[in-house]
Amino acid sequence: MEINEIANNSHNDLSAQLIKNMLSNKSETVTDNANQASFDALYNSLTTMVEETDSLSDAADVAEINYALGYSDNTHDLAIAQQKADIALQYTVAVRDRFIEAYNTIMQMQI
Label residues 83-94 b or e (16+ Cβ within 10 Å = b): ebbeebeeebee
Contact 63, 72 (CB under 8 A): yes
For the chain, the domain total comes to 1
Separation CA 19–CA 100 (nearest Å) = 41
Domain containing 99 equals 2-108
Q: Let me know: does 64 contact 78? Beta carbons within 8 Å.
A: yes
pLDDT along the chain (111 residues), means of 10: 44 52 52 76 89 95 94 93 96 93 91 79
CA atoms within 13 A on the CB side of 71: 7
- Residue 20 has a pLDDT of 57
**What confidence score (pLDDT) does residue 17 get?**
57
